[in-house]
Structures are given as C-alpha cells and as structure tokens.
Structure 1
Amino acid sequence: MNTLPEIGVGIKNSPFYGAFYENAITESRRFPEFYRAAAEKHGCIFFNAAEYIYPSEVDSLHLTPEGHSVLAEKLCEVIKNV
C-alpha cells in the first residue's frame, strides 16, 4: 500500500485550484498516518511515497516524469524485498 504525494503549496496558482477545500494542503500531509493504519489493520505493506516524490511545480498535484521514475525505482526496491 502506498500513499500519495502531498498537495503542493502552489495549488493556489494551479488550474486545479478550487477543486479542493482550503485545508487540502494540510490534510494531504496526514495521508501517511491513515494509510499506515489501514495497511497495519489489513496486514499490508506500507510504502510512504511522499518520502520520495513531490508534486510538480506546474500544478502542485501530479508527478513529473522524473517523479514517476523515482516512484517506480523505490517501489521496485520494496517489491524485491517482499
């Protein structure tokens, strides 16, 4: 199980601004807490992607191509150790 990257502070200047509540940036930082609890409850592996990837500066939400590469590499490391 993995989490998502945090919503970037630049979301206020993003085309996606308005699609989220004002507290979305702060709340997105809590994703790992909830995903970790769900993973433990269901006996799943927890992978905190937010430790390795960040939203793009373009929209403060989606990953860059480089971010996708980093995510793939880190997930591959986890999978190899399962």
Structure 2
Amino acid sequence: MIPGTANRYSWGTRWTSILDEKLQFYGYRVAEEGLCGRTTMFADAYRPGRSGIDMLPAILETHRPLELVVLMLGTNDCKAAYETTPEKIGVGIERLLDQIRREREDLPVLLISPIHLGAEVEKYDREFDRRSVEVSKGLKKVYEQIAKRRGIAFLAASDVALPGEKDQEHMTREGHAALAEAVFEIRLPQSHWL
C-alpha cells in the first residue's frame, strides 16, 4: 500500500503502477492510495478527508494482509496555509508510523521523502509560496533521521526525481520511472521479492 500518489499521470505511467508491474512477477500487487491534497496530519478546510492521520487506519484495514507499507507524504503539508516546518511535518510522519506499528508491529516500512518543490511553484499553484519550497527541501534530512531512529528503510525521492516544468510540483514521467526503479532496487530484509 502506497499513500500519497496523486493522479497526475494515468496508470502505467505513475511510479506505483510501474512498481506494480515489476512486483507482479514475484506475486505481489501494489495497492495505490493516492489522493490529491493528502497531508500527514493537517486538515484542509475546503477538502475534507485529506489528513493522513484520519485516513490511514481505515486504509491499512482495507488492504489487509499487507507485506510492506511505503509511506510518501509531505508535499501538501508544505502549503503556505499550514505555516509549518520540516520538523512539524516530521511529527506527522511519526504519528503515521505509530499507526502502522499499531496495525502490525513487524510490518516493514519504507519511508520516502518527497521531491523538492520547484523554485517557481507558486506561479502554478497559489497554495504554495517561496517558503514552501524551502520547507520541502528540509524534508529529506528530517525523514532520514526518523527512519534511522526507528530502524526502517529510507529513500529520498529528490535523489532520483525532479518536479516537472509544467507545474513545479509533480514528478516528470522520467521521475516516475526512476522512482519506481529506486524503490524496486531497495532490498528490504523483510521483503520477499529478493
């Protein structure tokens, strides 16, 4: 199950569907749980049901049994309205990880920090501003520290993918392919697609 994947591209182009195709050979399927505007813990006043904290328990239950959870959220938390910091977004990630542990203590988790927002994202999406860009750039360090402390796998999407020029917010097609490959190549000790 992979929350945080929006519907910018159709199935077959998004990194989750590319990963799904790779994992089918090993008998696994990806349960994609993308929702435009989803955050770690912030409630959107105009679009209900976007807080990961509120939604994750039901999502985990819906997709039982799970072999692995890939958690990649944080871009929408960078919106100007939330006036947040990378550290506060990290608190949201910690709370989500706690929920995953309550689901099943030994459930493997891969935490992915999102790509950085492009320098001109506010031209395309007024919900973001210049500060949002800086907050997005701080997520990698915070998430990596959380992953190390909790003993879970970590990947920075910003190491393999960039935002597209069209909106400075979502990954390019090439970025989706690169992220799928990077996730597939991670050899988690608990995973069975070795």
Q: Deviations over 1:21-80 (max 9, x none)?
A: 4301111111111101111222111111111101111000011222111100111111xx
Alignment of 1:45-64 (within 5 A): 45-64=153-172
Partner of 2:62 in structure 1? none
The two structures have a TM-score, normalised by structure 2, of 0.38
Give structure 2 stretches of 5+ with no counterpart: 1-110, 189-194
Separation in 1 of the partners of 2:122 and 2:140? 23
Q: Give the alignment's TM-score, normalised by structure 1.
A: 0.85
Work out the CA distance in 1 between the residues paired with 2:113 and 2:169.
Answer: 13
Indicate yes or no: 2:115 matched with 1:5. yes
Question: Would you tell me which structure has more strand in proportion to its own residues?
Answer: 2
Larger radius of gyration: 2
CA distance in 2, matches of 1:9, 1:22: 7
Task: State the structure with bigger RCO (CA 8 A, min sep 6), 1 or 2.
Answer: 1
Which amino acid in the other structure matches residue 73 of structure 1? E
Native 8 Å contact 2:116 2:163 kept in 1: yes
Whole-Å Cα distance in 1 between the matches of residues 130 and 118 of structure 2? 12
Kept in 2, the 8 Å contact 1:55–1:61? The answer is: yes
Supply the AA of the counterpart residue of 2:149. Answer: K
Contact 2:121-2:168 at 8 Å conserved across structures: yes
Aligned-residue sequence identity (percent) comes to 26
SS of residue matched to 2:120: helix
Distance 1:70 1:21 in 2: 27
Q: Please list every run of at least 4 consecutive aligned residues from structure 1 whose deviation after the TM superposition is greater than 3 angstroms.
A: none
- Change in 2 beyond 3 A, CA 1:22/1:10: closer
SS at match of 2:174: helix
**Is 1:24 the counterpart of 2:154 in the alignment?**
no
Q: Give the AA of the match of 1:9.
A: A
Aligned residues: 78
For the 8 Å contact 1:6–1:50, the answer to whether it is kept is yes
